[in-house]
């Protein structure tokens, strides 16, 4: 396995690691701050947890070969969008789109591609929301706009995707048909589970709101009666 350096801007695997790790840390820190802010403002966390990784040189070379291009640093930077990857795990599908909007609203993050595999799942059953973004990495002598792939999915989607990934590599991409069929059926069950959990959460939220409103009205009624009693006692 060899990655040849042929780029004046990024010319070694060590520098690639440095720059893409810096981009990962930026995105991860941003999401942690946004999640904390959301908790502060709305008393709710849309993000369950965040995972981050740098693609291995072996995986990059395999992907470049599939693209039919030479394994160079320049081709890697130009052709591979997921060298740096961040996976954001949410509780509900509504959180996924909320988090995606939060990312779009960041002034220093540029969204260059989006794939909505939730609205349009893959034939395998895979569901997730993908964004390719660039973030500026500030070095001592230059700024490098660096690509990061962000995957946003629910806990249930992540469970399914992890199992599908293991099966894919176990059978080297050629799993028996009955296993592929079962995976698609499991994906439908996951989609149904996500939908039902979202409806349940919405109902709980509505009930909590109605109880809070009823509590406020009851307290207001008590206060009103107390004032009326005080007024009557004053007149007497």
Average pLDDT over residues 19-29: 95
pLDDT on residue 93: 95
Q: How far is CA 50 from the centre of its chain?
A: 7
13-197 folds as: Beta Polymerase; domain 2 (3.30.460)
pLDDT over 70 (residue 229): yes
Exposure string over 158-183, b if 16+ CB within 10 A, otherwise e: bebbeebeebeeeeeeebeeeebeeb
Q: Are 28 and 87 in contact (CB under 8 A)?
A: no
pLDDT over 60 (residue 88): yes
Going by pLDDT thresholds of 50, 70 and 90, the confidence category of residue 11 is: low
Global pTM reads: 0.84
Going by pLDDT thresholds of 50, 70 and 90, the confidence category of residue 28 is: very high
For all residues of the chain together, what is the average pLDDT?
Answer: 90
**Taking the domains of the chain in order of start, what are their residue ranges?**
13-197
Going by pLDDT thresholds of 50, 70 and 90, the confidence category of residue 118 is: very high
Average pLDDT over residues 170-189: 90
Q: Which residues contact 86 (CB under 8 A, 6 or more apart)?
A: 24, 27, 28, 31, 50, 51, 52, 148, 149, 150, 151
Going by pLDDT thresholds of 50, 70 and 90, the confidence category of residue 119 is: very high
pLDDT over 90 (residue 37): yes
pLDDT on residue 8: 40
């Amino acid at each position: 396995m060899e990655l040849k350096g042929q780029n004046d801007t990024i010319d070694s695997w060590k520098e690639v690691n440095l720059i893409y790790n810096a981009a990962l840390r930026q995105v991860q820190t941003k999401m942690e701050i946004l999640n904390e802010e959301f908790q502060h403002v709305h008393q709710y966390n849309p993000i369950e947890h965040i995972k981050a990784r740098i693609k291995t040189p072996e995986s990059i070379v395999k992907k470049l070969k599939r693209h039919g291009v030479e394994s160079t640093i320049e081709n890697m930077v130009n052709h591979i969008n997921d060298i740096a990857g961040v996976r954001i795990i949410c509780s509900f599908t509504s959180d996924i789109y909320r988090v995606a909007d939060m990312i779009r609203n960041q002034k220093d993050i540029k969204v260059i591609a989006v794939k909505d595999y939730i609205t349009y799942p893959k034939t395998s059953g895979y569901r997730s929301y993908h964004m390719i973004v660039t973030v500026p990495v500030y070095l001592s002598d230059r700024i490098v706009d660096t690509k990061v792939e962000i995957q946003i999915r629910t806990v249930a989607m992540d469970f399914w995707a992890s199992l599908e990934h293991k099966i894919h590599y176990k059978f080297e991409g050629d799993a028996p048909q009955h296993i592929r069929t079962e995976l698609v059926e499991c994906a439908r069950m996951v989609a149904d589970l996500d939908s039902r959990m979202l409806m349940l959460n919405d109902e709980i939220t509505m009930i909590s709101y109605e109880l809070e409103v009823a509590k406020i009205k009851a307290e207001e009624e008590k206060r009103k009666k107390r004032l009326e009693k005080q007024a009557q006692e004053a007149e007497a």
